[in-house]
Chains A and B, each alone.
With several copies, the nearest count.
Chain A
């Protein structure tokens, strides 16, 4: 049982998983998004090998209209 912060919201996971699986778990988009774990960007290729640990702070961003 671990706890993470995803886009500012607390989330509980029953166990550590890799980033790739986490994206699936929350059915987040994969196209033109980027992910940061504890303030460091994780390249797409590294998602499978990146373990999400208890207390990790994740940001998953995409693009919206702006000026």
Chain B
């Protein structure tokens, strides 16, 4: 339905990227992933438990899915860099969702550390997709550092509040017409996703909105449609907004 999108040389048919956390069961996750039409999913890097009991989480993912490891849980550039290197070794992928968190309560990104880590990781050949605030100037620095895309937040991770600052996304789109902008975190309902795409985002990454919905698979379908709807709405060119009415039917010619 919607046009393709190309990221770091790979063509994706879907502009929806989703997470793998918080699902009530593997079956619920698999059904949601299938319904979403997503072609890439994020996973977290975590210490192997020492009790010997470990099943491979990855076995529960559709093999056709591209896996995007993240550096969630890292609070400084060094931890994020080491986590990225471990992810690359384990998955033989250069792709990394770079996430350096400022504190545990808000999970808001530490832009300064994120930029530092991005510079190092790009230098090591990683394809760095950085999560950061909706900050135009930081976006420029991340792109200058060699990130193939930027991933501004819509709202805090898992908040489901939707796009909190549409002006920032609009400005980012207008000032960086050629950049790939992926809105990451904060989406709660399909209209939130549509709004982000209408503002010109190239794709959206979400987890909680689907995983914590009462019916994750149904919500995944809704998000798939909403991302396509918002994308097409962006391309189709909206009607002008007016405070006042504009008749759809002829004003004259009614009977008297």
Instruction: Tell me the B residues contacting A by CB distance below 8 Å.
Output: 19-23, 29, 42-50, 52, 54, 56-58, 67, 69-70, 72, 82-83, 85-91, 157-158, 185, 205-208, 211, 247-250, 253, 255-256
Instruction: State A64–B90 Cα separation when bound (angstroms).
Output: 13
Q: Are B56 and A7 in contact (CB under 8 A)?
A: no
Docked-complex contact B29 and A7, CB < 8 angstroms: no
Structural contact, B90 and A34, CB atoms closer than 8 A = yes
Tell me which of B19, B20, B29, B54 contacts A62 (CB under 8 A). B54
* Chain B proximity mask over A45-61: 1 for CB below 8 Å, otherwise 0: 00000000000000111
List A contacts of B46 (CB < 8 A): 61-64
Q: Which residues of A contact B86 (CB under 8 A)?
A: 34-36, 41, 59, 61
Can you offer 23 A-B residue contacts whose CB atoms are under 8 A? A7-B47, A7-B48, A7-B49, A8-B47, A27-B52, A32-B58, A34-B88, A59-B86, A61-B45, A61-B47, A62-B54, A62-B57, A63-B69, A63-B87, A64-B46, A64-B249, A65-B19, A66-B42, A66-B70, A67-B19, A67-B20, A67-B44, A67-B185
B43 surroundings in chain A (CB, below 8 A) = 63-66
Residues of chain A whose beta carbon lies under 8 Å from any beta carbon of chain B: 6-9, 26-29, 31-36, 39, 41, 43-44, 59-67
Q: Is the CB of B57 within 8 A of A61?
A: no
Distance in angstroms between the alpha carbons of A60 and B48 in the assembled complex: 6
- Is the CB–CB distance between A66 and B52 below 8 Å? no
Given contacts A62-B45, A65-B249, 12 further A-B contacts (CB under 8 A): A7-B48, A34-B89, A36-B85, A36-B86, A59-B86, A62-B48, A62-B57, A63-B58, A63-B67, A63-B91, A64-B46, A64-B250
The distance in angstroms between the C-alpha atoms of A35 and B49, with both chains bound, is 13
**Contact between B255 and A59, CB atoms less than 8 A apart:** yes
Residues A33 and B44 in contact in the complex (CB < 8 Å), given A41-B85, A67-B208 = no
Q: Using Cβ atoms and an 8 Å threshold, which residues of chain B touch A26? A: 50, 52
User: Given A8-B256, A65-B57, A66-B70, A32 and B90 touching (CB < 8 A)?
Assistant: yes
In the complex, which residues of chain B have a beta carbon less than 8 angstroms from the beta carbon of A31? 56
Query: In whole angstroms, how far apart are the Cα atoms of A28 and B69 in the complex?
Result: 21
Residue of chain A at shortest CB distance from B256: A8
- Considering the chains assembled together, what is the distance between the CA atoms of A48 and B91 in angstroms? 20
> Does the CB pair A62–B50 fall under 8 Å?
no
A31 to B48, CA, bound (A): 11
Write the chain A residue with the least CB distance to B85. Answer: A41
Nearest residue (CB) in A for B44 is A66
Instruction: For B253, list chain A residues within 8 Å (CB).
Output: 64
Q: Do B45 and A63 have beta carbons less than 8 Å apart?
A: yes
Contact A33 B21 (CB under 8 A): no
Q: A8-B47, A36-B86 are in contact. Are A66 and B21 (CB under 8 A)?
A: yes
Q: How far is the CB of A57 from chain B (nearest CB, A)?
A: 9
Cα–Cα distance between A41 and B52 once the two chains are bound (Å): 22
